[in-house]
Chains A and B, each alone.
Chain A
Amino acid sequence: MFQLETAENPQKLRRIAIDPVTRVEGHGKVTLLLDDADRIHQVRLHIVEFRGFEVFIEGRPFWEVPVTVQRLCGICPVSHHLAAVKAMDIIAGYGQLPPTAEKLRRLMHYGQVVQSHAVHFFHLASPDLLLGFDSDLTRRNIVGVAQDFPEIAKQGVLLRKYGQEVIRHTAGKRIHGTGAIPGGMNKALTVAERDELRRDIDQMIEWSLASVHMVAALHRTKPEFYNHFGEFESSMMGLVDERGALDFYHGGLRAVDNTGKTIFDHVDYSTYEEVLEEQAKSWSYMKFPHIRSLGAEQGWYKVGPLARVQACDFIPSPLADLERKKMMALGHGKPVMGTLFFHWARLIEVLHAAELIRDLLDDPDILGTDLMADKGTRKGEAVGVIEAPRGTLFHHYRVNEDDQVTFCNLIVSTTNNNQAMNEAIRSVARTYLDGREVTEGLLNHIEVAIRAYDPCLSCATHALGQMPLEVDLVDADGRLVSRGRRNMGPAA
């Protein structure tokens, strides 16, 4: 179906050691490996910042972990917070959460989805989509969007800020929040906070819907291009509820193949190791997960917005589900696979999250004060899973009798998408590589493919906002043929 690392003579594709510089600065590094005929055969997106996370957690008291893990990612700390606390609910022996506690957690999570997706779309995706890939480089960013589409830019910033306010009111603070604790929540929502959020949510829904329509309109201008840019076949995975509906907060694991056929369904995520396997590769610090029954070559998959909205049977909010149907109609019965559909799906999810926020704010339970579950028998091991903005996020812990974490395994969204991102870049590189040079055009298009996933390349910003991207072209003998750089100084 879809081959992994398709070099005819893979032994000739020289293994490249990761440049130590990447470990310090966390920049994006892509290596394109050519075969004897100078065709792209393998792509390696080097991501190095995940090493050490598990060790960082091990040895800490379990009740501290939901707060500590927020330091793993400055972009989606709430996702780590909630995945960890879901596991620690079980470790601490708590049962079913009271309705108010679960609804407050969901509200926090939906706020996170809105703010993360908003910044992604308006900061990364809309410049490419709105202005075109071949537009002047200096205009292909949010400045250009703001010039040509001033309201879109403004709405993006305000959507982001709204999501942050939802988080602040539910977590207690904008960052380092402690809203969710093992067994429930430690902060109720006040009437004033509810009213403040309710006042603006209809506007957020309206803007979200308009942004979906904008992407749909863009697609109509160049459908063939949008359909096939960075296109590759893959399986997809996400959480669904018992009805098969998309659920960002809780559910069973579902995987479907490239035709939409079910591979596994409603899998209890505490048994994820029975259906998924992680494989290490010599050139990457990040593991490559795959569906165990299909093996490493056939079993890799993608997660995140495009996977979620297509793996589920429906989205349980009316406006978002309607938009999902419109997007999926373009696949004529099969899932759509073009990389740029990620942006479309992401905006459908913003719309869905905004609809869910409105419904929760209208639910009397959200103002309840029964925030803690009853405590039962403590457990030594648990798994917490959540649909983070970029995809399925696994937190797996074992805790000893002294309450210290002795084992931690995290499969973050970017890890789940590891091979898929390589495939997206490979698809683009095959189309746009001309000769043996990393041209500006190739660099542009590779960058667009990476931006669709927005991988967690680094959670430490050490160079005041400079996140350089470097693309190396390496021939079959392992020689560096060409190098393209962006946001970097001169080559060392």
Chain B
Amino acid sequence: MSAEAPAPAETARVVVLGWGNESRGDDGLGPALLRRIEAVDLPHVTAIEDFQLQLEHAMDLDGADLALFIDASVAAPHPFAFTEAAAREGMTHTSHAMAPEAVLDVFSRVLGRVPPPAFVLAVRGEAFELGTGIGEAAAERLEIAWDFIRPLITAPDVAVWRAKVSG
């Protein structure tokens, strides 16, 4: 059972995609945060974990009112960045990485509809060595990020989310 207040029937349906490799240091930030969200067990939230963001995640967003992408990032400011993402074509030389914007673009092209409003929570990570866990500094950021995102997913409101966007 959820420890949170029950969501009203009209609560927006949220799909959360968290990805990363927990055996690669701070890359585990995405799955760790996703697990926190799963543990709260909010009925309006669908949490999906994967190693990497990929094409088929566009299909997972079908039916969502809001989308949230969570990942570690070397580029994010301390302790995290919270931004709104729009569908945008992505150019890459490898299939080993895909941006949230590209997933949203696949959604619109394949399903022929505008994707749901989507936001990215990028938690700053620094150490990504194989065989290590989340570092001490990243663990502190995880707590800050959790305190930030928990109320947003508990009572999801796109206007509130937009008001919280960094910068």
Asked whether A124 lies within 8 Å of B110 as measured between CB atoms, the reply is no
- Establish whether residues A154 and B110, one from each chain, have CB atoms under 8 Å apart when the complex forms: yes
Whether A122 contacts B92 by the Cβ 8 Å rule is: no
- The answer to whether the Cβ of A38 comes within 8 Å of any Cβ in the partner chain is no
User: How far apart sit A467 and B75, CA to CA, in the bound complex (Å)?
Assistant: 12
The residues of A with any CB-CB pair to B shorter than 8 Å are 24-25, 28, 52-53, 55-56, 68, 71, 73-75, 77, 119-120, 122-124, 137-144, 146-147, 150, 153-154, 156-157, 160-161, 164, 174-175, 447, 450-451, 454-467, 469, 486-487
A138 cross-chain contacts in B, Cβ below 8 A: 89, 91
27 intermolecular pairs with C-beta atoms under 8 Å apart: A24-B74, A71-B21, A71-B23, A71-B24, A120-B95, A123-B98, A124-B94, A137-B91, A142-B102, A142-B106, A143-B105, A146-B110, A153-B106, A154-B109, A160-B55, A175-B51, A462-B125, A464-B69, A464-B71, A464-B73, A464-B100, A465-B98, A466-B97, A467-B93, A467-B96, A486-B93, A487-B92
| Complex Cα–Cα for A454 and B50 (A) | 20
CB distance from B84 to the nearest CB of A (A): 14
- Collect the chain B residues with CB atoms within 8 Å of residue A55's CB: 131
Report yes or no: A465 in contact with B90, Cβ–Cβ below 8 A: yes
Would A74 and B96 count as touching, CB distance under 8 A?
A: yes
Least CB distance, B161 to chain A, in whole angstroms: 18
B129 at the interface (CB under 8 A from A): yes
Interface centre among A137, A142, A469, A487 (most CB of B within 10 A): A142
Cβ contact within 8 Å between A140 and B23: no
Complex Cα gap A74–B98 (Å): 12
CB-defined interface of B35-64 with A at 8 Å, one 1/0 digit per residue?
Answer: 000000000000001111111101100000
Q: Which of the residues B23, B99, B120, B125 comes within 8 Å of A56, measured between beta carbons?
A: B23
Question: Which residues of the partner chain B approach A174 to less than 8 Å between Cβ atoms?
Answer: 50
Most buried by B among A142, A465, A467, A486: A465
Q: B101-123 vs A: 1/0 string, CB under 8 Å?
A: 11001100110000000001010
A28, A52, A161, A463: the one within 8 Å of B94 (CB): A28
Among the listed A154, A460, A465, A469, which residue makes an inter-chain contact with B27, where contact means beta carbons less than 8 Å apart?
A: A460
Alpha-carbon distance between A419 and B110 when the two chains are bound, in angstroms: 37
Given A142-B106, A157-B55, A157-B58, A457 and B94 contact (CB-CB distance below 8 Å)? yes
New contact pairs (10) apart from A71-B21, A142-B105, A467-B94, CB-CB < 8 Å: A123-B95, A124-B92, A156-B55, A157-B58, A450-B94, A462-B27, A463-B97, A465-B98, A466-B97, A469-B93
Residues of chain B lying within 8 A (CB to CB) of residue A24: 74, 128
Q: Which residues of B contact A71 (CB under 8 A)?
A: 21-24, 51
The tally of residues in B whose CB lies under 8 Å from a CB in A reads: 48
Contact with A along B127-146 (1 / 0, CB 8 A): 01111000000000000000
Q: What's the dominant secondary structure at chain B's contact region?
A: loop
- Assuming the contacts A74-B51, A119-B55, asked whether A463 and B109 have C-beta atoms less than 8 A apart, the reply is no
How far is B74's CA from A123's CA once the two chains are assembled, in angstroms?
Answer: 24
Residues of chain B contacted by A156 (CB below 8 angstroms): 55
**Closest 7 pairs between A and B when the two form their complex, measured CB to CB:** A74-B51, A465-B99, A146-B109, A143-B89, A74-B52, A71-B23, A467-B97
> In the complex the two chains form, is A143's CB within 8 Å of B109's CB?
yes
Query: When the two chains form their complex, are residues A157 and B105 in contact, meaning their CB atoms are under 8 A apart?
Result: no
B interface residues with partner A (beta carbon < 8 Å): 19-24, 27, 49-56, 58-59, 69, 71-75, 89-102, 105-106, 109-110, 120, 122, 125, 128-131
- When the two chains form their complex, are residues A157 and B95 in contact, meaning their CB atoms are under 8 A apart? no
Residues in B neighbouring A122, C-beta threshold 8 A = 55
> For A469, what are the chain B residues with a Cβ–Cβ distance below 8 Å?
93
Rounded to whole angstroms, the CA-CA distance of A142 and B94 in the bound complex is 13
Which chain B positions have C-beta within 8 A of A56?
A: 23, 130-131
Chain A neighbourhood of B120, CB < 8 A = 464
Contact A465 B100 (CB under 8 A): yes
How far, in angstroms, from A467 to B71 measured CA to CA in the complex?
Answer: 15
A29 to chain B, nearest CB (A): 11
Smallest distance from the beta carbon of B124 to chain A beta carbons, Å? 10
**What A residues does B69 contact at CB under 8 A?**
464
A141: which B residues are within 8 A, CB to CB? 89-91
Q: Which residues of B contact A486 (CB under 8 A)?
A: 91, 93
User: Nearest CB to that of B49 among chain A residues?
Assistant: A175
A254 to B72, CA, bound (A): 42
Contact A52 B131 (CB under 8 A): yes
Q: How far is the CB of B11 from chain A (nearest CB, A)?
A: 26
Find the A residue at minimum CB distance from B73.
A464
Contact between A457 and B75 (Cβ–Cβ < 8 Å)? Answer: no
A residues within 8 A CB of B98? 123, 465
